């Protein structure tokens, strides 16, 4: 356990010898065990088609393991529920017929908490706007506000910033780190961008055809704290790249 | 294309002037084309007497009742089609066969079953609105993004909450389009049926009003009735639907 994870209190999600395969295909996971701790950010990274989104769907209860167990703070995960909330890869997750505030309140979140969240994601001034009036970055902030409005234990994010330009992405990554620090919500974050993963994560969950590898990131985490041009950061990036693409490293 | 109100009004005035000149020139009999001022006078007189308004309310009452009944049936059929493949096949077959049939075309069959009367008129209207609504509601349900299903599941929404809070509003653009078609078909079907068969009898609607005026050669009264038909169409299509669209689809960026 790293310096980052030593202070983490309790596991909020556990994979215990979990296995999963789509019918007729090789297993995506077999005998996989790992835990997500309270307040921790795990980034799931790997080549396209390696099963990153499948891993997230298992954590969310949208898929169930063929073998082994996945448990959360209330017991075995048997389906999706609001305490494990998912931000999907689809770009059109906001309901176009609801304002930003109504979207963030969906289905029945506490309005005071929603107002606070909209302040935190810098959307307070856009609360009465409709999604069609928002930029891509604002839409993703609204999606994240909605995801957090029900006070989930775990936020599961499937490549949420892929379609955004680099400065907007960095702003949202920092926002996510601040939300994590202020709300203490645990996160699993799927990305194909190694730099994004190293910037955000306490630990990386690296998926390769040969299996799943966990890696601690021994850098201080927080908004703007990791310098992506520092030697340490670049060295971690290279190491991860070497694991994902051993032939090209 | 954006419509220009001054441009539309200008054309309207030009047409009225041409009408008035033609009527006053004596080229056309006043029994065929009375002066526009006479038509307006008749329109005012019929309004004051109440006969034009009562006819309008009768026709509108039938159309609203038909649309509500048709919409209720269409929602049930579309919801069952969404759930059950067998019902979907039945619905597709019925829609393919019955949707192209004008309401007036099924009137003889309905008269055989229900006789000449208000029920038959209501059935004609229901037939006119049911199939376009089924087509549009079904298309609306099918076009609900798959990610909404996942969001509903993630929030553990019950089926009824998912239907009313996600499916229905997400389908609204299609449903609204279906309602516009339904209104147009219902209004035309109701007025046509009244005109052709006069089936509402005494206390009839606007179609019956126009039909009677023609029979008794009260040409200004006939034009007054037609003017009211056009006005109602204008109020509903360019007023009511326009307003709903501005408050919903345009705000949502879906118009």
Q: How far is B172 from chain A (nearest CA, A)?
A: 9
Give yes or no for a contact between A58 and A34, defined as CB atoms under 8 angstroms apart.
Answer: no
Residue ranges of the domains in chain A? 3-83+152-242, 94-145
Q: Report if residue B50 sits inside a domain.
A: no
pLDDT digits (tens, 9 = 90+) for A141-183: 999 999 999 999 999 999 999 888 888 889 999 999 999 999 9
Residue of A nearest to B173 (CA): A97
Give yes or no for a contact between A174 and A182, defined as CB atoms under 8 angstroms apart.
Answer: no
Average pLDDT of the segment spanning A2-31: 82
Q: Between B36-49 and B219-234, two packed helices, what is the crossing angle to 10 degrees?
A: 80
pLDDT digits (tens, 9 = 90+) for A46-63: 988 889 999 999 999 999
Chain B touched by A161 (CB under 8 Å) = no
Q: Which domain holds residue B230?
A: 59-252
Confidence band, pLDDT 50/70/90 cuts, at residue A3: very low
- The closest alpha carbon to A11, from A45, A34, A43, A44, belongs to A34
As a whole number of angstroms, the distance between CA B221 and CA B212 comes to 9
Contact A133 B253 (CB under 8 A): yes
Q: Report if residue B34 sits inside a domain.
A: no
| A206/B26: higher pLDDT | A206
Chain B touched by A132 (CB under 8 Å) = yes
Chain A touched by B149 (CB under 8 Å) = no
Chain A touched by B170 (CB under 8 Å) = yes
Would you say residue B246 has pLDDT above 80?
A: yes
**Nearest CB neighbour to B153, from listed A80, A107, A133:** A80
Interface test with B, best of A96, A106, A136 (most B CBs within 10 A): A96
Question: How many residues would you count in chain B?
Answer: 255
Q: How many CA atoms lie within 13 A of B72 on its CB side?
A: 6
CB pairs < 8 Å spanning A and B: 55
Q: Where are the alpha helices (DSSP H) in chain B?
A: 5-25, 36-49, 51-83, 85-98, 103-114, 118-142, 146-154, 159-162, 168-197, 206-215, 219-234, 241-247, 249-252
pLDDT digits (tens, 9 = 90+) for B109-118: 988 998 888 8
**pLDDT for the residue A249:** 53
Contacts B151 to A, Cβ<8 Å: 88, 93
Q: Report if residue B39 sits inside a domain.
A: no
Percent of chain A clearing pLDDT 70 (strictly above): 96
Chain B touched by A19 (CB under 8 Å) = no
pLDDT digits (tens, 9 = 90+) for A80-121: 999 999 999 877 899 999 999 999 999 999 999 999 999 999
Percent of chain A clearing pLDDT 90 (strictly above): 79
**pLDDT for the residue A2:** 44
| Overall fold of domain A3-83+152-242 | Rossmann fold (3.40.50)
**Nearest CB neighbour to B147, from listed A90, A96, A107:** A90
As a whole number of angstroms, the distance between CA B167 and CA B148 comes to 8
Contacts A160 to B, Cβ<8 Å: none
**Nearest CB neighbour to A132, from listed B148, B151, B253:** B253
The two structure tokens encoding residue B237: 């299509």
Chain A touched by B44 (CB under 8 Å) = no
Instruction: Give the CATH number, domain containing residue B159.
Output: 1.10.3720.10
Our count of domains for chain B comes to 1
Would you say residue B30 has pLDDT above 50?
A: yes
Q: How far is B188 from chain A (nearest CA, A)?
A: 32
Q: How far is A113 from chain B (nearest CA, A)?
A: 17
Average pLDDT of the segment spanning A227-236: 94
Q: How far is B113 from chain A (nearest CA, A)?
A: 44
Q: What does the mean pLDDT of chain A come to?
A: 92
Confidence band, pLDDT 50/70/90 cuts, at residue B154: very high
Q: Report if residue B25 sits inside a domain.
A: no
Q: Between B206-215 and B51-83, two packed helices, what is the crossing angle to 10 degrees?
A: 140
Would you say residue A236 has pLDDT above 50?
A: yes
Q: How far is B253 from chain A (nearest CA, A)?
A: 5
pLDDT digits (tens, 9 = 90+) for A123-133: 999 999 999 99
Chain B touched by A68 (CB under 8 Å) = no
**pLDDT for the residue B201:** 52
As a whole number of angstroms, the distance between CA B127 and CA B70 comes to 7
Average pLDDT of the segment spanning B142-156: 95
As a whole number of angstroms, the distance between CA B154 and CA B162 comes to 11
Cα→Cα distances A196→A182, A236, B193, Å: 20, 12, 68
Confidence band, pLDDT 50/70/90 cuts, at residue A230: very high
The two structure tokens encoding residue B58: 């009768």
**pLDDT for the residue B164:** 94
Residue B74's contacts (CB-CB under 8 Å, 6 or more residues apart) are: B129, B130, B133, B134, B137, B178
Residue of B nearest to A108 (CA): B155
**pLDDT for the residue A1:** 40
Q: How far is A148 from chain B (nearest CA, A)?
A: 12
Give yes or no for a contact between B126 and B69, defined as CB atoms under 8 angstroms apart.
Answer: yes
Q: What does the mean pLDDT of chain B come to?
A: 91
Contact A81 B150 (CB under 8 A): no
Would you say residue A6 has pLDDT above 80?
A: no
As a whole number of angstroms, the distance between CA B118 and CA B62 comes to 9
As a whole number of angstroms, the distance between CA A182 and CA A215 comes to 25
Percent of chain B clearing pLDDT 70 (strictly above): 95
Q: Report if residue B7 sits inside a domain.
A: no
Q: How many CA atoms lie within 13 A of A184 on its CB side?
A: 7
Would you say residue B130 has pLDDT above 90?
A: yes
Interface test with A, best of B140, B154, B155, B159 (most A CBs within 10 A): B154
Contact A107 B157 (CB under 8 A): yes
Contact A82 B151 (CB under 8 A): no
pLDDT digits (tens, 9 = 90+) for B175-224: 999 999 999 999 999 888 888 766 555 568 899 899 989 989 999 999 99
pLDDT digits (tens, 9 = 90+) for B96-109: 999 999 888 888 89
**pLDDT for the residue B82:** 86
Strand, helix or coil for residue A86: strand
As a whole number of angstroms, the distance between CA A217 and CA A111 comes to 37
As a whole number of angstroms, the distance between CA A58 and CA A190 comes to 13
Q: How far is A59 from chain B (nearest CA, A)?
A: 12
Query: Degrees (nearest 5) of the Cα angle B134, B132, B193?
Result: 125
Q: Is the dihedral of CA B13, B15, B18, B22 positive or negative?
A: negative
pLDDT digits (tens, 9 = 90+) for B35-92: 999 999 999 999 999 999 999 999 999 999 999 999 999 999 999 998 899 999 999 9
């Amino acid at each position: 356990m790293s310096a980052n994870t030593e202070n983490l209190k309790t596991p909020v999600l556990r994979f215990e010898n979990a296995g999963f395969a789509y019918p007729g295909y090789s297993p995506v996971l077999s005998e996989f065990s790992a835990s997500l701790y309270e307040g921790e950010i795990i980034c799931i990274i790997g080549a396209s088609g390696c099963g990153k989104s499948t891993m997230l769907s298992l954590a969310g209860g949208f898929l169930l393991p063929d073998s082994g167990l996945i448990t959360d703070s209330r017991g075995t995960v048997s389906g999706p529920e609001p305490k494990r909330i998912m931000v999907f890869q689809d770009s059109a997750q906001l309901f176009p017929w609801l304002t930003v505030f109504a979207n963030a309140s969906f289905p029945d979140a506490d309005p005071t908490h929603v107002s606070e969240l909209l302040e935190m994601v810098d959307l307070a001034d856009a609360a009465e706007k409709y999604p069609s009036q928002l930029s891509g970055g604002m839409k993703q902030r609204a999606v994240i506000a909605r995801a957090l409005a029900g006070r989930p234990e775990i936020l599961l994010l499937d490549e949420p910033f892929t379609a955004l330009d680099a400065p907007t992405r960095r702003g949202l990554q920092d926002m996510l780190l601040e939300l994590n620090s202020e709300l203490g919500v645990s996160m699993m974050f799927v990305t194909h961008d190694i730099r994004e993963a190293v910037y955000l994560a306490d630990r990386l969950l690296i998926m390769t055809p040969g299996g799943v590898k966990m890696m601690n990131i021994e850098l201080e985490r927080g908004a703007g704290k990791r310098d992506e041009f520092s030697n340490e950061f670049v060295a971690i990036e290279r190491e991860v790249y070497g694991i994902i693409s051993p032939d090209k490293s | 294309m954006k419509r220009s109100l001054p441009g539309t009004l200008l054309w309207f005035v030009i047409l009225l002037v041409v009408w008035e000149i033609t009527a006053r020139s004596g080229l056309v009999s006043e029994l065929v084309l009375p002066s526009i001022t006479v038509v307006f006078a008749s329109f005012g007189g019929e309004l004051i007497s109440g006969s034009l308004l009562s006819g309008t309310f009768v026709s509108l009452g039938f159309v609203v009742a038909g649309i509500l009944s048709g919409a209720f049936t269409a929602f049930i059929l579309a919801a069952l089609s969404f759930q059950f493949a067998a019902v979907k096949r039945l619905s597709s077959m019925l829609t393919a066969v019955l949707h192209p049939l004008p309401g007036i075309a099924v009137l003889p069959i309905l008269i055989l079953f229900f006789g000449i009367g208000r029920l038959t008129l209501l059935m004609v209207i229901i037939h006119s609105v049911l199939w376009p609504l089924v087509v549009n509601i079904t298309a609306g349900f099918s076009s609900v993004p798959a990610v909404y299903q996942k969001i509903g599941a993630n929030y553990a929404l019950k089926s009824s909450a998912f239907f009313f809070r996600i499916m229905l509003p997400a389908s609204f653009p299609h449903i609204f389009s279906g309602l516009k078609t339904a209104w147009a078909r219902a209004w035309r079907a109701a007025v046509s049926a009244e005109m052709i068969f006069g089936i509402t009898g005494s206390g009839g609607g606007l179609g019956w009003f126009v039909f009677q005026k023609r029979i008794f050669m009260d040409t200004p009264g006939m034009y007054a009735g037609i003017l009211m038909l056009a006005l109602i169409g204008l109020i509903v299509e360019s007023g009511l639907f326009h307003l709903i669209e501005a408050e919903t689809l345009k705000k949502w960026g879906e118009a």
